[in-house]
A and B are shown apart, each in its own frame.
Chain A
Amino acid sequence: MGNLLQIKNGEVVERQRIPQVDFARFFRIMTDFVANNGYIVQFFAYAEEGRTKLMAVVRNSNLFIISTVVDSEFPSLTLTIGTKFHLFEREIAEQYGIRPAGHPWLKMVRYHANVTGKPDVFGNNYRVDIPGKYNYFQVQGESIHEVAVGPVHAGIIEPGHFRFLCSGEEVLHLEIQLGYQHRGIERMLTEVPQQRLPILCEAIAGDTAIGHNLCCCQAIEALACITIDRGASTVRTIALELERIANHLGDLGALSGDVAFHPPAAYFGRMRGEFLNLLLVLCGNRFGKSLIRPGGVSQVMTGEQRDIIKNKIKELRPEIEHVCNLLFSAHTVLARFEYTGTVGRKMADELGMVGYCGRASGLEYDVREFFPTECYADLPANTNKVTNGDVYSRAMVRQEEIMHALTLIEMLLAKEEEPHRRVSLAAHQLAPDSFVVTLNEGWRGEVSHCLLTDSEGKIARYKVKDPSFHNWTGLAMALRNQEISDFPLCNKSFNLSYCGFDL
């Protein structure tokens, strides 16, 4: 794999060290890499010296980067190499007006004009903001009907449009159109003062405030050569795990609510609140906003807080076990969960799914284990046992991860108290002409931020990737040949982010 440069998670690379090859070679390297169990972490376009370049961050058990120069068109990698590239290429086409020629499904991602001012690849003029303006897939036949759901839904959930092509109750295909919450975050991140970066990153996806912010802060620390206190690392790890527990508990509750098994829904809902309150104890915000800041954490974790968390976990662990038992031992629930919305290992692998969705299908990828940050190198990894790729597996992975996360927090709290100082927001001088990519296992999966700085150390390109970006297509695939009435259950078992995708 000649020209790939191996890097570490959160390692600063000078831009001139990034290997740059011509497109034909890039194409060959990518073909080889993906064929040998390689996955895409980031694949995006950026401008350099008046030219447009493509940067690929890829992984197998290591991280690699490579870049290439493209003109207004390049032969689609999706077409020849595989589906892993498809959404990335569509994003490149939308953001920089470059056409991946021969892309099998070239459709806009978020409905916005490109940054280069080139003619739009999709032929839209964007005078009116209508993300769903597009000719959806059609299936024809006598008993075929379409059901359009959203973008405004019943209940308080985010906007997204779902188009079901059905034959009676059976879904032949589900087409998902997002983009209704596009806020232009990537662009904003390059324009605002540096102190605002963590605050903006906390708002990329409200339920992953810690995951996204952690990526951002680690990137800034790397670029500004800041090392953080060991104690601050512990607090960050605990916060990330608390976020994971709270969200997984909420999801298990929602899953039982969706099959009309209400008692666990109520219990899990209450326990989710308890864990959010632990984040409140840590930093004063139930979603952990304002906790992580470049250089460390904004609040010092004292012995009192350690005790509160320790005692709460001791109190809640048996309760969680009990309610999980109630949920997973009800045969009516299992009848709904098992064999519903199955994504097989092969399909998950082709799509490059990440997080619990990927692990439920048997893809053993966990950033905490592969590219550990903070305290994860010293902590044991989790292995999930149920890998059938159905709703049941996705629910079981959550249960296992909750138990695992509880153990991790207990291990971290069992250590001696480590002194750490509190930091406040400040602007740091970033290394000029550099590149950094940070990865963390947010509760949904691999969260990744890429930063490129210019010759003055200003951020020239900021690329954000939420795990949902990999997994939305998985949901569409899970629905094939399922009953349309099982969609809410499948959707909840994936529980993907709309705003994290829309950016």
Chain B
Amino acid sequence: MICKQKNLKFIWLVMLLILVGMFFVSLYGGRYFIPPGEVGEILSAGLRGGVPDSIAGSVVWNLRLPRALLNALVGAGLAVAGASFQGVFKNPLVSPDVLGVSSGAAFGAAFGILLSGINQIATVLALVFGILSVLMTYTLSKLRGESSTLALVLSGMIISAVFSALISLIKYVADPYDKLPAITYWLMGSFASASYSDLKLVGVPILAGIIGLLLLRWRINVLSLGDEEAYSLGVNPVRMRLTVIAMATFITAACVTVTGIIGWVGLVIPHICRMIVGEDHKNLLPASCIVGAIFMIMVDMIARTATAAEIPIGILTALVGAPFFALLFKTSKGDWQ
């Protein structure tokens, strides 16, 4: 399955073409029909700075374009964060929220919605609690002396459990007519509110995180061998691992903040990419970015066009992801331990 150097160039080209193609398909498709020619006109007009003041112009430029951009950004971010986490934790089964960032952010958002409905406050609280939960996980793991990988993962489980319970508590006290549906929808994940202001808010952190991880991508190989071997190869694993975790966490928190919880992407996409480009994180991380973006655009397109009612994307990613993962589990060659 692993491809030789020459084939790899071809594969990069194909993946990029699919990404660009998928991106444009998502601009052309939707519940509101716009003739393809008009979409092209709107895009070229928009790039020149003058979006036509029509329904079609608004749909393409204000609804579909920011949504597709956010799809790509979040898909790439979650997938690359997942691949990095799997590398530094030496475990192909961990996902980006292993340190509790998702449940922390989810709690923050639910709390914000409970206090004042869906608005910037909820977004900021999501980001704050996402990062806070990871800091708590890290502190907890330090209580045992050294921060071993196992201590980190176990602490992450504890913090996640606490925040999950707090989310349940909020759902329990929330008004079932007013706040509860908002919280429930948020927890299921959605790109419905994608806007340019969302992009402005999280675009920079997610992009910065992705670039940082891509720069460190070969170093993650060394980390994946374990601390002792990293030391023996001349790499300080503790500092490097913290750097990678910090960046991956920041990406995840930023993603969760604007889209709610979208599971399985960070877990499954890296595995698909392993089958395409092999285990080397030098190739795995960029591939995860591209395939993650493709996957998210594709799934969100289903979510917003399949029926008149919007299907929560978290449900779709789980429905697509879980069976695929089962298949992978059966056919995979690696030692999963």
A and B from one complex: no
- B residues with a Cβ closer than 8 A to A are none
